Structures are given as C-alpha cells and as structure tokens.
C-alpha cells in the first residue's frame, strides 16, 4: 500500500567491495605506512592535526524535500481522485475522522476550497510511523495530504495539530525548440509527425488569427517557428509560446515576432506592424469551409437556388464559436431556419451573425470581446451537418468577409522601435542557435 522512503546509505561499503583482494591489501599496507609515518613522525607529539582523520564518518546527507516538507522516513500512499470522491473519502481509510476533515475544510476554505477537487487529479498521503513503546507495533499517523491542482500547482494540507492548507508550485524549467517544415496534411498532423507538441498548432493559429484562415492552409505552405515551453517534473506543461515565426501561405511569407508592450505580449511583423486586426479571420479554429459565400447557391435542404450570404465552417458538434471582434450582442435567439444563433454589432459599420448553434453562450445586451466564446457548433435549424454559418454585414449589406481587407491595430509606438529592433535581433540569433526539429534545448544548452 505504502512506499517507505528512507535516507541514503553511505557509498563507502560499495566502493570497498569494488577492489580486488590483492589491490585492497596493497591499499591497506600503504595506508598503514602512512599512519605510522604521519602519526609517529619522530615529533614525540601524541596529538596530530586537529582535522578529521582518514576514516572520519561520511557527511550526513541532505534531507529529501518534496512539496516543501522533509520527505524522509515518511510512508507515502498515492493515487488519483476518482469520480464522486471527496476529501473525506480519501482520508477516512487513513483514520482521519469526519470531524477533523470538516475542520480542515473550514480552515482551508479562504485559501483553497476542497470542493474544487476534481476526478483524475493526483494526490499523495504522507504518514509518520509511530511506536507507542519500544516493543509496540508501529502505527501510521497521517501528516500531510497533497492534492495536485494542475501540472504546475498543488495544495498541501497539514493533518497534524494545525489543520490547514498552503498552496505551492513545482519548480518550472523553460526549454526552447524550433519547428520547420512543409505542410503535407495539416499543421496539427505535421507537427506531431516531426515530434513537436500538437498544441503548437493552436498557438500558431492564435498568432495568425487575424491574417490566416487555417481552414484554407494548403499543401506546400511552409513554416519556421521558434517557441518556448515550460517543463514541470520532466513533463511539458501548458501551451507553447511562439517567439518568432515565418509562415509562408500561398507563396506569401508572413513574419511574426513576439514583443511585450505594457506587460502584454503581442505579435508584429518585421517593420513593427501589428498582426492583430479589428476582426479575426474565422469564428472557429481548425475547421474547414464547407460552403462559401455564393448569391446563386443551390440550397441542399430546400432543393432550389437560394443565395448563401455567409460562409459555412464545418466542425465537430460542441466546438467553441468565438466573436470575431469586440461588440454588443443584439440577438441571441432561435428561428426555424437559423436555429440557435447570435448576432453582434461591432460598430456603426459592421455586424456579424453565427447560426446553427447547439448552445448559445451569451445574452442580448451583453458586451463581448474578440475571441470570447459566444456559443458552440451544432446542427439546429436548416442544416445538413454540424457547422456554423458565419454572416458578415457592412453598412447593412451582407458581404463576403474573406474578400474584405480590415485595418490593423496600431503599430509599435515610435519610442519602442529601437527596443523592438533589438528584440528581433535576439530572436533571430536564438533561431540560428536551434537546430530545426531536433528537440527542446535548455537555456544552458544555448550558451
């Protein structure tokens, strides 16, 4: 059940046994000669030096620390929270009474509420072996309970006299890598094929959300991206952060360099122009266009020519749909044709509409931000499969948003141009030090 973690043993006995008998005899003889010469030495002194002798005891090993506590000599049980389990379920087998669990939960609530525990998260129960008398059998007394909140953070519960909790974090390492290649299938599949994290594709889609519609990425497009990611306990954690990238789409190279202004990271081209624009290219990530804007389209359900004044993005049911720009929700409703839909007014010129949702996530009058989830892909209304029909109005008239050029956000301020140029130089130097598709490198490996 438990696992005993003790102190490290001295390496001296193992070193001694590694010598052959003959070599050991020579070594002992030599040491004996040394002792005779060194200790008698004709000085008549019985003292010798004040330092430790040749066979002084080995230094006591440093205690093993884990979760900020001394982990030596503890008996540890561990597992994962199962569906329906609470803190009481996990501590009851260890003999922690319901009353103490209730007190622990109450004392901890302001720091971290135990009701936030979720199935699938790891836990550890560390106990101390105690003997009431020299000849008594040891019993286990629970000392600590640790719950892993996420790959980076944990909650450490004290089960001794002081019942409470404190929050902690694992040490985090940062590594760097470079991905380079040509699109053969999709960005997601191609990253996986050459050993890069698949969520790097999501990070890339976020970088180019205003300039590239990833449903239109084609075979032959190329990428060269430098990124960093965090590693906790030897395991990658969180989303990769794109530092620089060149994505060539339809033979047009699109550069992106990460630069922070006012503590917020953004992406800019080589001249300092912002990649961010007033509107995103698409309301869903990694979808495919199943039907384009076409005033003379033959309707697949009605079986007649009926103009299609939107763009259909096919995606699995439940895929988040996001607002392509800041605005106010003017409609969150249902009709037999549109199904569940949301309409947003962005300013006096532009409006957008999102149809056939399985579920709406916003209400009329609500203000939304660009990239905010407003609903989920479905098949309500007149729809042959799960998708979102995305409609775009300009001055009251529906248009093809894929043909519209939208103004970018403000470029880097003139006072920051020098700092941005220096950052670009450093990012380019970092890229050159990283071998493409060779795996992550620590900062020490870059020196």
Domain boundary among 113, 136, 169: 169
Do 125 and 230 lie in one domain? The reply is: no
Say which residue, 186 or 441, is predicted with more confidence: 441
Q: Quick check: is 46 in a domain?
A: no
- Among candidates 309, 353, 357, which has minimal Cα distance to 327? 353
pLDDT at 159: 96
In the predicted model, is pLDDT for residue 240 greater than 80?
Answer: yes
Q: Quick check: is 342 in a domain?
A: yes
Domain boundary among 126, 153, 169: 169
What residues does 141 pair with on adjacent strands? 128
Instruction: Read off the CATH number of the domain in which 121 is found.
Output: 3.10.450.350
Do 203 and 350 lie in one domain? The reply is: no
Do 307 and 267 lie in one domain? The reply is: no
Reported as a single tens digit per residue, the pLDDT across 403-416 is: 888 877 889 999 99
Collapsed DSSP state (helix, strand, coil) of residue 207 = helix
In the predicted model, is pLDDT for residue 41 greater than 80?
Answer: no
Do 153 and 203 lie in one domain? The reply is: no
| C-alpha–C-alpha distance, residues 386 and 358, integer Å | 9
Say which residue, 14 or 165, is predicted with more confidence: 165
Instruction: Read off the CATH number of the domain in which 333 is found.
Output: 2.70.70.10
Reported as a single tens digit per residue, the pLDDT across 204-223 is: 999 998 888 787 788 999 99
In the predicted model, is pLDDT for residue 439 greater than 80?
Answer: yes
- pLDDT (average), residues 232-240: 91
Collapsed DSSP state (helix, strand, coil) of residue 205 = helix
pLDDT at 331: 97
Sequence-distant (6+) residues with CB within 8 A of 88 are: 98, 101
Q: What are phi and psi of 271, to 5 degrees?
A: -90, 0
Are 123 and 157 contacting, i.e. CB atoms less than 8 angstroms apart?
no
In the predicted model, is pLDDT for residue 16 greater than 70?
Answer: no
**Two tokens, residue 205:** 């889609």
**Two tokens, residue 434:** 């990283």
- pLDDT (average), residues 121-146: 92
pLDDT at 302: 61
Do 372 and 351 lie in one domain? The reply is: yes
Range(s) of the domain holding residue 257: 171-277+408-447
Q: Quick check: is 365 in a domain?
A: yes
Do 299 and 399 lie in one domain? The reply is: yes
Q: How far apart are the first and last CA of the chain?
A: 46
- Among candidates 325, 350, 330, which has minimal Cα distance to 341? 330
Do 430 and 368 lie in one domain? The reply is: no
Cβ count near 432 (within 10 Å): 10
pLDDT at 149: 96
Count structural domains, the chain. 3
Reported as a single tens digit per residue, the pLDDT across 334-372 is: 999 999 999 999 999 999 999 999 999 999 999 999 999
pLDDT at 186: 86
**Predicted model pTM:** 0.68
Instruction: Please classify residue 77 by burial: count the beta carbons closer than 10 Å to its beta carbon, then call 0-12 exposed, 13-18 middle and 19+ buried.
Output: middle
**Two tokens, residue 27:** 């070594």
Cβ count near 351 (within 10 Å): 20
In the predicted model, is pLDDT for residue 316 greater than 60?
Answer: yes
Reported as a single tens digit per residue, the pLDDT across 266-285 is: 999 999 999 988 899 899 98
| C-alpha–C-alpha distance, residues 204 and 217, integer Å | 12
């Amino acid at each position: 059940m438990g696992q005993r973690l003790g102190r490290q043993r001295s390496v001296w006995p193992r070193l001694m046994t590694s010598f052959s008998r003959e070599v050991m005899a020579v070594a002992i003889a030599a040491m004996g000669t040394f002792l005779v010469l060194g200790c008698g030495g004709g000085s008549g002194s019985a003292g010798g030096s004040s330092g430790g002798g040749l066979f002084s005891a080995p230094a006591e090993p440093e205690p093993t620390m884990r979760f900020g506590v001394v982990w030596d000599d503890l008996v540890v049980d561990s597992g994962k929270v199962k569906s329906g389990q609470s803190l009481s379920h996990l501590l009851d087998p260890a003999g922690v009474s319901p009353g103490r669990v209730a007190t622990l939960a109450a004392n901890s609530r302001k720091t971290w509420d135990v009701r936030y525990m979720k199935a699938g998260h790891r836990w550890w129960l560390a106990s101390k072996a105690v003997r009431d008398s020299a000849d008594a059998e040891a019993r286990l007394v629970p000392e600590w309970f640790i719950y892993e909140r996420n790959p980076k953070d944990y909650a450490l519960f004290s089960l001794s006299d002081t019942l409470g909790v404190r929050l902690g974090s694992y040490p985090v390492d940062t590594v760097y890598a470079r991905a380079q290649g040509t699109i053969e299938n999709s960005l997601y599949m191609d990253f996986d094929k050459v050993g890069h994290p698949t969520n790097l594709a999501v990070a890339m889609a976020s970088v180019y959300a205003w300039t590239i519609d990833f449903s239109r990425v084609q075979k032959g497009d190329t990428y060269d991206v430098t990124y960093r990611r965090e590693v906790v306990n030897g395991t990658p954690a969180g989303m990769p952060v794109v530092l620089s990238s060149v994505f060539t789409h339809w033979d047009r190279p699109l550069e992106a360099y990460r630069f922070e202004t006012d503590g917020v990271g953004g992406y800019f081209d080589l001249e300092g122009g912002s990649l961010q624009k007033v509107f995103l290219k698409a309301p869903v990530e990694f979808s495919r266009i199943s039907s384009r804007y076409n005033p003379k389209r033959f309707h697949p359900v009605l079986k007649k020519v009926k103009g299609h004044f939107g763009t259909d993005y096919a995606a699995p049911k439940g895929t988040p749909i996001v607002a392509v720009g800041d605005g106010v929700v003017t409609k969150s409703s249902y009709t037999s044709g549109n199904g569940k839909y949301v309409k947003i007014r962005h300013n006096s010129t532009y409006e957008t509409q999102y149809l056939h949702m399985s579920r709406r996530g916003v209400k009329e009058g609500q203000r939304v931000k660009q990239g905010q989830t407003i609903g989920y892909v479905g098949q309500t209304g007149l729809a042959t499969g799960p998708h979102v029909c995305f409609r775009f109005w300009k001055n009251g008239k529906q248009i093809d948003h894929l043909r519209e050029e939208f103004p970018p956000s403000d470029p880097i301020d003139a006072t920051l141009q020098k700092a941005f140029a220096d950052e670009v130089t450093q990012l380019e130097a970092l890229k050159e030090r990283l071998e493409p598709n060779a795996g992550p490198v620590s900062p020490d490996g870059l020196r």
